[in-house]
Amino acid sequence: MIRFENVDKWFGTLQVLAGISGEVRRGEVKVLVGPSGSGKSTLIRTVTRLETIQGGRVLVDDADIASRSVDINRLRQRVGFVFQAYNLFPHLSALGNITLGLTKLRGLSKAAARERAMEELARVGLTEKADEMPGLLSGGQKQRVAIARSLAMDPQVMLFDEPTSALDPEMVGEVLAAMKRLAAGGMTMICVTHEIGFAREVADEIWFMEAGRLIERGSPAELASSQAGSRLGAFLRKVGPG
Amino acid sequence: MLEILQNNWLLFLVGQYPHGPIGGLVMTLFMAALSLALCFPFAIGLALARLSPYRWLRLPATAIVHTVRGLPLIMFIFWTYFFSPLIIGRAVGGVETLVIALVVYEAAYLSEIIRAGIEGLPRGQTEAATSLGLRYWPTTIKVVLPQALHNMLPSMVSQFVSTIKETSLGYVISAHELTFAAAQVNNVLLTQPFEVYGILALTYFALCFALTSLARLIERRISAGRGGAPGIVVAA
Amino acid sequence: MGYVFDIGSVLTGKYLDWFLIGLATTLALTAVAWCLAMAMGIILTLVRMIPFPPLGWFVALYVEYHRNVPLLVQIFVWYFGVPSLLPRPARQWINAHHGEFLLAAIALGLAAAAYVAEDIRSGIRSIPKAQYESARSIGFGYLGAMGYVVLPQALRIAVPPLINQTLLLFKNTSLAMAIGVGELTYRTREVESYTFKTFEAFAVATALYLAISFGIMALGSWSGQRLRLETR
């Protein structure tokens, strides 16, 4: 579904991604962990070309996303992206945030878009907040609306960029719960997160990144057994039991 | 265009001086500087009054500022032109009229800049000063105003530019300044209005653009002195 | 001084008419120049977005010229200067059709456009890049992201400063009296020189200017509160 082949990226003279290779198959959940500045967010941002790369290839459904034949705007509709800072559109209600893409990109009628949006709001448990403006929602509610906004476009894969890092601790749970339900439903996902508990429970594979390199990978069980001496083990001990 | 400039540069620069009153660019700059200097104390007074906890100070100051903001400068010039003779008891020249009108007008605008400068200071500054036991005036004069005025330096230069531009209204009451001088040149030549007013526009442009650029330079210095604008943080 | 204040003396007959005609001319001049300013301001903003540096320089020069030359001088350039460059029939047409009104409106409108373009630009700049990225992530192209997400927010932010520009434009129409446009200030001087009721004449004009200015200011602060968005 998504394949990274020797991906290199520089910010000026600083190499932030160095020879990353890996594959995410349909229905898999990969969790990216690692210290901040290790390139996790940058890596998933390359998938929808929010970041351009200088070496290697990123393929979605075997198509190089940098090639001219790929319509990036269509690709982005198929690949949902959830930001750390939610990035809801403050001039539109919760519902309006979700229907914008449906009416303007999918060409749905207002009524159909509204119905579809309400379904997604129901999935994240926020039907009663449909007409609220984002400024009046809590952080957790905003992030759930942002997830619903992505899901409404029927993505084949969802990318999460530290979706709980900006939240107060008591709101982390509600967002993780929504993500777990999504994973249980068979969604293909790549999540950048520091929530190790979430990773253990949901991930098919954990990728550990440091200084722009993917230095360790394995299922939560494998990593738990070989944790003792590894870099990942040391990292997991530092961020706590989760 | 060059020929016009060659023959009339002295008139543009100093007006009819030494055969008549001094005018031209020199007078424009003199009036702008004088009115800005004179309006400064009034502007500080208005700003402090608007920030005062006392209604009887705040309300009249607010009323003055809003009234000035609501009226064209030309109205002030005419009020001054017609009524200062009644008050002073003698005829008042164009230059004096313009300076008086500009002082009133600019004081209101400048007071808004000063007020914003004071409001822009961190609350901690006054709190720190008052917890040291300083009273209102020492706090204001030693702590608040110096910082506010320093931060406002670029806005003051911009205000000087506005004032220079506004002195062009002296033309309407025959105050001898730059625009008036250009009109005189035009009346003599008659056939080349585009060139004459083009020279006038370019003169103002060169002067004001240089000052505007200076204001930007100072603004960068000041924000660099504060530790600079927050840089872009690259996400992990 | 034995001066009797008699506001009625200037608010009757033809003097009242002169005030009303003057006020109407002021408002018409404001309206025409305002439309020109908005149109030109939006055009300048769009031109500046085209990634071709010379166009950006042109817009910068346009903005700097109009902000650094006194408005009265800009009016003179248009009124005295520009027609002298035109062919004779065009000049005659201008003279026959109240050219001073038209040229004043052009000068006022083009000058205000420079400020309008700056206000819209700072509105756009104040929208975080993440909003644009977020719209692109849903699948919007450049135009969709700008049109549905960035500009609606930017315009909300730009409305209060634009209303303030409207106030300045309204006040600046008074400069058109210098080229003989029969707007409020010009008519006031006429009333004054016919009646010698200086105080009354200027009191009426002052009241009229203030009434409209306060209306615009009220609109500005109302819109400022109405349009503000909680962004985080």
Taking a C-beta distance cutoff of 8 angstroms, is the pair C49, C125 a contact? no
Q: Is B161 exposed, middle or buried (0-12, 13-18, 19+ CB in 10 A)?
A: buried
Is C137 at the interface with chain A, CB within 8 A? Answer: yes
- The nearest CA of chain B is from the CA of C155 a distance in Å of 24
Q: B218 CB contacts (<8 Å, ≥6 apart)?
A: B153, B154, B157
The shares of helix, strand and coil residues in chain A, as percent rounded to the nearest 5, are 40, 25, 35
Q: Are strands A29-33 and A79-82 parallel, antiparallel or unpaired?
A: unpaired
For residue B233, give the chain A residue with the closest CA. A37
* Subunit contact C138:A76, Cβ cutoff 8 A: yes
Q: What is the ipTM of this complex?
A: 0.90
Tens of pLDDT, residues C97-126: 888 999 999 999 999 999 999 999 999 999
* Subunit contact A149:C133, Cβ cutoff 8 A: no
Q: A123 CB contacts (<8 Å, ≥6 apart)?
A: A148, A151, A178, A181
Taking a C-beta distance cutoff of 8 angstroms, is the pair A96, A89 a contact? yes
Owning domain of residue B153 = 2-225
Q: What is the pLDDT of residue B230?
A: 40
Supply the CATH number for residue B32's domain: 1.10.3720.10
Residue-averaged pLDDT of chain A:
90
pTM for the structure as a whole: 0.84
AA identity, residue B201? A
Is B232 at the interface with chain A, CB within 8 A? Answer: no
For residue C201, give the chain B residue with the closest CA. B79
For residue C130, give the chain A residue with the closest CA. A87
Q: Which of B14-28, B61-75, C161-175 has the lowest mean pLDDT?
A: B14-28
Q: Are strands A63-64 and A14-24 parallel, antiparallel or unpaired?
A: unpaired
What CATH class does A2-87+156-239 carry?
alpha beta
Q: Is A143 exposed, middle or buried (0-12, 13-18, 19+ CB in 10 A)?
A: buried
Query: End-to-end distance of chain A based on CA atoms, in angstroms?
Result: 29
Closest C-alpha to A142, from C231, C153, B236: C231
For residue A50, give the chain C residue with the closest CA. C133
Q: Are strands A55-60 and A2-11 parallel, antiparallel or unpaired?
A: antiparallel
Spell out the SS3 assignment of B175-205: CCCHHHHHHHHHHHHCCCHHHHHHHHHHHHH
The pair of three-digit structure tokens given for residue B206, joined into one six-digit string? 């060169």
Tens of pLDDT, residues A40-64: 999 999 999 999 999 999 999 999 9
CB atoms within 10 A of CB C107: 27
- The nearest CA of chain C is from the CA of A13 a distance in Å of 23
The pair of three-digit structure tokens given for residue A136, joined into one six-digit string? 């009046």
Task: Please indicate, yes or no, if residue B161 is contained in any of the structural domains.
Answer: yes
pLDDT tens sequence for chain C (232 residues): 557 788 888 888 899 999 999 999 999 999 999 999 999 999 999 899 888 999 999 999 999 999 999 999 999 999 999 988 889 888 888 888 888 999 999 999 999 999 999 999 999 999 999 999 999 999 999 989 999 999 999 988 999 999 999 999 999 999 999 999 999 999 999 999 999 888 899 999 999 999 999 999 999 999 988 888 765 4
The pair of three-digit structure tokens given for residue A213, joined into one six-digit string? 């390199």
Task: Please indicate, yes or no, if residue B142 is contained in any of the structural domains.
Answer: yes
Helices (H) and strands (E) in chain C, counts: 11, 0
* Subunit contact B75:C198, Cβ cutoff 8 A: no
* Subunit contact C139:A91, Cβ cutoff 8 A: no
Q: What is the pLDDT of residue B133?
A: 75
Is B234 at the interface with chain A, CB within 8 A? Answer: yes
* Subunit contact A89:C138, Cβ cutoff 8 A: no
* Subunit contact C73:B200, Cβ cutoff 8 A: yes
The pair of three-digit structure tokens given for residue B44, joined into one six-digit string? 């500080």
For residue A47, give the chain C residue with the closest CA. C137
Tens of pLDDT, residues C25-49: 999 999 999 999 999 999 999 899 8
- Cα separation, A78 vs A242, in Å, equals 32
- Cα separation, C28 vs C22, in Å, equals 10
Superfamily of domain C7-227: MetI-like (1.10.3720.10)
Chain B residues within an 8 Å CB radius of C171: 70-73
- The nearest CA of chain C is from the CA of A161 a distance in Å of 12
What is the DSSP secondary-structure string of B77-142?
HHHHHHHHHHHHSS---HHHHHHHHHHHHHHHHHHHHHHHHHHTS-HHHHHHHHHTT--HHHIIII
Chain C residues within an 8 Å CB radius of B76: none
Taking a C-beta distance cutoff of 8 angstroms, is the pair C94, C102 a contact? yes
Chain A residues within an 8 Å CB radius of C132: none
Strand partners, A209: A214
Number of residues that make up chain B: 236
- The nearest CA of chain B is from the CA of A145 a distance in Å of 23
Taking a C-beta distance cutoff of 8 angstroms, is the pair C136, A101 a contact? no
- Structural domain total, chain B: 1
The pair of three-digit structure tokens given for residue B2, joined into one six-digit string? 């060059």
Closest C-alpha to C74, from C33, C43, C46, C38: C33
* Subunit contact B172:C199, Cβ cutoff 8 A: no
Q: Are strands A157-161 and A79-82 parallel, antiparallel or unpaired?
A: parallel
- Cα separation, A13 vs C157, in Å, equals 37
Cα distances (angstroms) measured from residue C221 to each of B72, C76, C216: 20, 34, 9
Chain C residues within an 8 Å CB radius of A80: 137
Chain C residues within an 8 Å CB radius of A76: 136-139
Q: How confident is the model at residue A228 (pLDDT cuts 50, 70, 90)?
A: low
Biggest CA–CA distance in chain A, Å, is 57
Report the neighbours of A using a cutoff of 3 or more CB pairs below 8 angstroms. B, C
Q: Are strands A205-210 and A29-33 parallel, antiparallel or unpaired?
A: parallel
Q: How confident is the model at residue B166 (pLDDT cuts 50, 70, 90)?
A: very high
Question: Which one of C1, C71, C73 would you mutate to disrupt binding with B, by most B Cβ within 10 Å of its Cβ?
Answer: C73
Strand residues in C98-197 grouped as ranges (E): none
Please report the residues numbered 115 through 134 in chain C whose beta carbons come closer than 8 angstroms to any beta carbon of chain B: none
* Subunit contact B236:A11, Cβ cutoff 8 A: no
Q: Where are the domains of chain A?
A: 2-87+156-239
- Cα separation, A44 vs A184, in Å, equals 21
The pair of three-digit structure tokens given for residue B38, joined into one six-digit string? 């004179």
3-state secondary structure of A59: strand
Question: Which one of C138, C229, C230 would you mutate to disrupt binding with A, by most A Cβ within 10 Å of its Cβ?
Answer: C138
- Cα separation, B171 vs B146, in Å, equals 37
* Sheet with strand A188-192: strands edge to edge: A79-82, A157-161, A188-192, A29-33, A205-210, A213-218
Chain B residues within an 8 Å CB radius of A40: 236
Q: Where are the domains of chain C?
A: 7-227
Chain B residues within an 8 Å CB radius of C70: 164-166, 168, 179, 204
For chain A, the residues whose C-beta falls within 8 A of a C-beta of chain B are: 11, 16, 35-42, 84, 161-162
Q: Number of A to C CB contacts under 8 A, please give it.
A: 69
For residue C149, give the chain A residue with the closest CA. A89
Taking a C-beta distance cutoff of 8 angstroms, is the pair B185, B4 a contact? yes
- The nearest CA of chain B is from the CA of A235 a distance in Å of 16
